[in-house]
Homo-oligomer: A and B are copies of this chain.
Amino acid sequence: MDLNLIKEIAISSPEKIVMLVLDGLGGLPDPKTGKTELETARIPHLDTIAKHGICSMADPIAPGITPGSGPGHLALFGYDPIANLVGRGALEAVGIDIEFGPDDMTARGNFCTVDDKGIITDRRAGRISTEKCTELCKLLDGIKVNGVDIKTYPVREHRFVVVFSGKNLHTELTESDPSQTGLAPLEVKAEATIARQTAPIINEFIAKAKAVLAHHHPANMILLRGFAKKPKLPTMQEIYKLNPLAIAVYPMYRGLARLIGMQVADAGTTLEDEIKTLKDNYNKYDFFFFHVKWTDTAGEDGAFDRKVKILEQVDAALPAITSLKPDVLVVTGDHSTPAVYGGHSWHTVPVVICGQFCRPDAVKEFSEPAFLAGGLGRIHSTDIMPLALANARKLTKFGA
């Protein structure tokens, strides 16, 4: 949907929308039982919401396309995820609240372990502590290349962010991370003529970092990927006239929310913390992005039973959300992460929209097969925001 059109018809209203995003929600059947994670879990509250709401299996991007977390979430917030691709580096940088300008270039970094021959033996340097990561980042901070200022920021464990500050930096670059062990880090190459001056700067930085880290085994090398500048996105206030709050435990999701103008709560580290955050802030906002990460982590780890358990935990916490009586409740995911697949996947994602003016459908339980008969048919995830806004009476009529 054209956001300029939405912007024209969106109005502020007292109604409140809660969008509960269970990361990696959709699943696949366990071959032993023939049932997906959602079909296996005892989730009576989610079933009730499915019964009262209008359901769909939605495409986050397009059929067959497996979304990263960035595009998956941007689609949920109504932004065209293809036209508004946010690079990994920028996503990580905003996630840890780094100030950086429009000329700066960011990258996601890993400390890693290489052997004497320079072959990667551990892409995560044995998951060093965040404290260690912080120390090492300080060592790298002295490095300068060709007048380009380089600053590194610890994220968590082996993960860090690099910000390159200079003129004429271009992101059309290959990654240094080969995404597997047993290989040497790759030379960064320009993918477009315009980035031909940028690539050697990155490679020199990596070489200097290697020298600095030589005696810091297991973190004796770095891998860089996701070179990106800060994207310019219209805010949710501008487009939707919303006053939105993000409740998310993981930095990247907070960063993404911040990029589109959401206030970001200090949401603690657990589901209970997040629920408390929602309650404490419920009067102050009219849109709540409530992110649950652990469904995705379990799916990524191939942990079917754990994903089932987390779904049951979320279900048990649901009355704490519904008791706030949001005018519109959306429950969905940013993409599927089936445990039997062990990673993000292209499968459609369950979505239910619940509000006073939903036209009911025949869906009686919260599961992939049940949602196929949902009253919304097959929609795009970018349709969810307009539908949620309409149900909350936040969109006026289009045209006379």
* A57 at interface, CB cutoff 8 A: yes
CB of B375 within 8 A of CB of A377, answer: no
A166-174, A216-224, A391-399: which one contacts chain B? A391-399
Say which residue of B71, B338, B341, B346 sits within 8 Å of A399 (CB atoms): B71
* A81 at interface, CB cutoff 8 A: yes
* A86 at interface, CB cutoff 8 A: yes
CB of A387 within 8 A of CB of B81, answer: no
- Which residues of the partner chain B approach A28 to less than 8 Å between Cβ atoms? 357, 359
CB of B67 within 8 A of CB of A399, answer: yes
The 3 A-B residue pairs whose C-beta atoms are closest, nearest first, are A64-B386, A377-B378, A88-B400
CB of A369 within 8 A of CB of B362, answer: yes
Known contacts A378-B379, A395-B346: does B64 contact A390 (CB below 8 Å)?
yes
- Which residues of the partner chain B approach A178 to less than 8 Å between Cβ atoms? none
Compute how far the CA of A341 lies from the CA of B338 in the bound complex, rounded to whole angstroms: 39
- Which residues of the partner chain B approach A67 to less than 8 Å between Cβ atoms? 397-399
* A347 at interface, CB cutoff 8 A: yes
* A198 at interface, CB cutoff 8 A: no
- Which residues of the partner chain B approach A362 to less than 8 Å between Cβ atoms? 369, 372
Nearest chain B CB to A117 CB, angstrom units: 28
A71: nearest residue on chain B (CB-CB)?
B399
CB of A70 within 8 A of CB of B377, answer: no
A108: nearest residue on chain B (CB-CB)?
B400
CB of A65 within 8 A of CB of B400, answer: no
A102-144, CB under 8 A of B: which get 1 and which 0? 0000001000000000000000000000000000000000000
Compute how far the CA of A386 lies from the CA of B347 in the bound complex, rounded to whole angstroms: 12
- Which residues of the partner chain B approach A65 to less than 8 Å between Cβ atoms? 1, 5, 9, 386, 390, 395, 398
CB of B29 within 8 A of CB of A64, answer: no
* A25 at interface, CB cutoff 8 A: no
